[in-house]
Structure 1
Amino acid sequence: MKAYVFPGQGAQFKGMGKDLYERSPLAKELFEKANEILGFPITDIMFEGTDEDLKRTKVTQPAVFLHSVILTKVLGASFDPDMVAGHSLGEFSALVANGVLEYEDALKLVSKRAMAMQKACELEESTMAAVLGLEDHLVEAVCADIKGTVVAANYNCPGQLVISGDLLAVERACEELKERGARRAMILPVGGAFHSPLMEPAREELAAAIEETNFAKPVCPIYQNVSTFAMTDASEIKKNLILQLTAPVKWTQSVQNMIKDGATEFIEVGPGKVLQGLVKKIDRNAQVSSAEI
């Protein structure tokens, strides 16, 4: 069975999507529509901008989303998933791919999500840190004992967990985790505490927009970050998407459940190969590849 997976923030690169734009009239049309919807020429930044330009919040999330979704549209009939999943932001791409969200609606939500997250980041000094070489339950236990807000945020693969919270709490947690035997516990160059309680203001803002958006019946199950199991009920999918900003990304558990349900081939749709690497670390027998036109 084929599982299509969609990357999140951090997968962007200079020149992303340019080949699609130049090779496919459909891609060109969809990119131009995105420029209209967003109110600025995101294609100029994606194709010609610097790495710094691409890191700007209002650019990064829509850029990664557009690369993934437009590639899906260009694949046409050859895109035939048995199941889908997306890592954080990638979940919005996955929901367009399996027919739950319309392209334009999803792009508007992604743009609103980026701006709401940026606002939440400005309320309190916060960050994230990658923890390597410890079991999940040990990381969770350390976070629970730290004063302040710090939680497990991204379960990327066995032995790789990202924590998130206020700056001092994350720094204290990193020191404690190193003492407990973590191979590395390093602060990441991100603007805030994504997938933590500190994103509550953003979750509330995005929730209102999600509630007003139509969610259709999916053509195949999605394994969501919050639930990790096959989801096909539109109302449940909507509920999980609202919870996503303050809840952890349970990528390890999602991939394990996809494999348990019959996934043998994981195809990454969008920029980079990060998810392929994570899937191989979760199950070395899994077949991985990139979607290509």
Structure 2
Amino acid sequence: MKSFVFPGQGAQFPGMGKDLYDSSPKAKQLFDQADDVLGFKLSTIMFEGTADELKQTKVTQPAIFLHSVVTALISDAFQPDMVAGHSLGEFSALVANGALSFEDGLTLVSKRAMAMQKACELQESTMAAVLGLADEVVEEICAGIDEVVVAANYNCPGQLVISGSIKGVEMACEQLKAAGAKRALILPVGGAFHSPLMEPAREELAAAIETTAFGAPKCPVYQNVDAKGHIDIMEIKSNLVSQLTAPVRWTQSVNAMIADGATSFVECGPGKVLQGLIKKIDSGVETASI
């Protein structure tokens, strides 16, 4: 069985999508449609913008979403038995598997990005990558700190990202290094994604999702919140909302897909980050990109 997976924030690069736009009339139509929906020339920033311009919140998430969805929709090879996305990538996965229209998916991603930006501005916060410790050790240390700091991304065994207040993350990094972490490195991000500090954004996204029409998916989507495959629309919507304040259980999602019969994983979108993580989770599965 084939699983198609979609990357999250950080996969962007200058010039992204230009090859798709130039080579496919359908891709060109989707890029032009995206510019209309957003009310600004996202395609121009993607094709000609600098790395800094691509890092703007209102640009980054729609850009990765657009590249990922176009890659899937114009490919004859896109025949999924299951799909999953890392954080933002979950929206790409839901458009690709038919649960969301392209326009509605893009609109939700744009609203999500702006809501997250607003939540970041309410309180200074950050994230840090932790390498070389068991998940349980990281969880225990975070739980013992009297500040907001939680496990946010379970990327692969021995690679976890924590998220919270600046003080909380700094305190956790010190304790994690003392506990034997190879690295505990604060990341250059604007806020504490996938932590309780995203609650204002969660409420805003919930209102937007509530008024958006979802359709029956062609195949299960393995969602970040519980690492299980879902086809029930109410469950999918609820999990999408919860995702903003809950951890991305990527390791668990990949293991669940393998347990349910996935033998190959195809990455749709910019970069090859997910292929690398999947190989670290289970070196025996095939990985590729389209």
Do both proteins adopt the same fold according to a TM-score greater than 0.5, normalized to the shorter chain? Answer: yes
How far the C-alpha of 1:227 sits from its partner, in A, is 1.5
2:36 corresponding residue in structure 1: 36
1:138 alignment partner in structure 2: 137
Please state if 1:46 is matched with 2:7.
no
The 4+ residue runs of structure 1 with deviation greater than 3 A are: none
- Which residue does 1:269 correspond to in 2? 268
Alignment partner, residue 121 of structure 2: 122
> Aligned equivalents of 1:151 and 1:115: distance in 2?
23
CA–CA distance in 1 between the matches of 2:229 and 2:34?
30
Q: Distance in 2 between matches of 1:21 and 1:290?
A: 18
Amino acid at match of 1:284: S
Give the equivalent residue in structure 2 for 1:232. Answer: 231
Corresponding residue for residue 170 of structure 1? 169
- Number of aligned positions between the proteins: 290
Alignment correspondent of 2:60: 60
Q: Distance in 1 between matches of 2:226 and 2:161?
A: 18
1:72 aligns with 2:72: yes
Structure 1 counterpart of 2:15: 15
Query: Match for residue 181 of structure 1?
Result: 180
Unaligned runs of 5+ in 2: none
Task: Look up the equivalent residue of 2:96 and give its one-letter code.
Answer: A
Tell me, in whole angstroms, the C-alpha distance in 2 between the residues paired with 1:105 and 1:240: 17
Deviation of the 1:230 alpha carbon? 1.2
What letter corresponds to residue 270 of structure 1 in structure 2?
Answer: G
TM (norm. structure 2) is 0.99
Deviation at 1:256, TM superposition (A): 0.2
How far apart, CA to CA, are the structure 2 residues paired with 1:15 and 1:209? 31
Alpha-carbon distance, 1:40 to partner: 0.5
Structure 1 counterpart of 2:213: 214
Please tell me whether residue 205 in structure 1 is matched to residue 204 in structure 2.
yes
Q: Could you say what secondary structure the match of 1:192 adopts?
A: coil
Aligned to 1:156, what secondary structure does the other structure show?
Answer: strand
Cα displacement string for residues 65-96 of structure 1 (whole angstroms, at most 9, x for unaligned residues): 00000111111x43110000000000000000
* Secondary structure at 2:74 match in 1: helix
CA RMSD of aligned residues (A): 0.5
1 CA distance for matches of 2:79 and 2:26?
19
CA distance in 1, matches of 2:267, 2:77: 14
Deviation, 1:164, is: 0.1
Q: Could you tell me which residue of structure 2 aligns to residue 90 of structure 1?
A: 89
Structure 1 contact 215–235 (Cα < 8 Å) conserved: no
Q: Matches of 2:218 and 2:99 in 1, distance apart? A: 8
Aligned to 2:104: 105
**1:35-80 deviation digits (Å, cap 9, x = unpaired):** 01111101111001000000000000000000000111111x4311
Report the alpha carbon displacement of residue 217 of structure 1 after superposing the two structures with TM: 1.1
Q: Find the aligned partners of 1:70 and 1:230 in 2 and give their Cα distance.
A: 23
The question of 1:152 aligning with 2:151 is answered: yes
Q: Which one is further off, 273-282 or 215-224? A: 215-224
Measured after TM superposition, the shift of residue 271 of structure 1 is: 0.1
Segment of structure 1 superposing worse, 169-178 or 211-220 = 211-220
Q: How high is the TM-score relative to the length of structure 1? A: 0.98
CA shift for structure 1 position 284? 0.5
Amino acid in the other structure paired with 2:40: F
List per-residue Cα deviations over 1:182-241 (Å, max 9, x = no partner).
Answer: 000000000000000000000000100001111111110110000201111111111100
In 1, the alpha carbon distance for the partners of 2:180 and 2:77 equals: 46
Give the secondary structure class of the aligned counterpart of 1:130.
Answer: strand
Superimposed CA distance per residue, residues 126-162 of structure 1 (whole angstroms, 9 cap, x where no aligned partner): 0000000000000000000111100000000000000
Other-structure match for 1:286: 285
Partner Cα separation in structure 2 for residue 29 and residue 230 of structure 1: 31
SS at structure 2 position matched to 1:254: helix
Structure 1 unaligned residues grouped into runs of 5+: none
Distance 2:4 2:62 in 1: 19
Identity %, equivalent residues: 70
Q: Tell me, in whole angstroms, the C-alpha distance in 2 between the residues paired with 1:279 and 1:79.
A: 19
